[in-house]
Structures are given as structure tokens and as C-alpha cells.
């Protein structure tokens, strides 16, 4: 029983640490994507709608995140079935 608890604890700690690193990576990518969107968006559009770059970057990050979650879920399911 003790080994099982220890094993589960390690699994949850590892998951939390991986999630924290994923969060840091997402923040770094968010900054880059925001700068790229601002660079490629017309200046007049940004002056008229100041949050348009953030909207675009949020959509891009969300799509990438959903795709990554989907792919990781499929990978885990295939690993569990083998």
C-alpha cells in the first residue's frame, strides 16, 4: 500500500511540474506571437482597435494548445492500450 501511495504521489508531482513548465513555455510563446501579430497587423488597425493583436494571439495560442492536448491525449491512449 505504501509503495502505491508513493508511486501515485510521484506521478502527481511530476504532472504538476510538467504543467508548470508548460505554463512557462506558453507564456514565452504568447509574447512572441503577440509581437509577431503586432508586426504583421497594420498600424492603423491597431490604433483603431488596440486589442486586436491580443485577440489574434489568444486565438493562435488556443488553437495550438487544443491541438497539443488532443495529440497528447491520443498518444497516452495508445500507450495505455499497448
Cα(46)–Cα(41) distance, integer angstroms: 7
Taking residues 55-76, what's their average pLDDT? 82
Query: When comparing pLDDT for 11 and 23, which is higher?
Result: 23
Q: What is the secondary structure of 7-60 as a DSSP string?
A: HHHHHHHHHHHHHHHHHHHHHHHHHHHHHHHHHHS-HHHHHHSTTHHHHHHHHH
Please state whether the predicted TM-score (pTM) of the whole model is above 0.85: no
Confidence of residue 56 (pLDDT cuts 50, 70, 90): confident
Confidence of residue 82 (pLDDT cuts 50, 70, 90): low
Specify the pLDDT at position 80: 67
- With a CB cutoff of 8 Å and minimum separation 6, the contacts of 26 are 61, 65
How far the first Cα of the chain sits from its last, in Å, is 26
Amino acid at each position: 500500500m505504501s509503495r502505491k501511495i508513493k508511486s501515485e504521489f510521484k506521478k502527481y508531482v511530476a504532472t504538476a511540474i510538467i504543467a508548470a513548465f508548460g505554463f512557462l513555455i506558453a507564456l514565452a510563446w504568447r509574447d512572441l506571437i503577440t509581437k509577431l501579430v503586432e508586426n504583421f497587423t497594420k498600424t492603423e488597425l491597431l490604433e483603431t482597435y488596440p486589442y486586436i493583436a491580443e485577440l489574434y494571439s489568444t486565438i493562435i495560442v488556443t488553437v495550438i494548445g487544443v491541438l497539443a492536448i488532443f495529440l497528447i491525449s491520443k498518444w497516452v491512449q495508445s500507450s495505455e492500450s499497448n
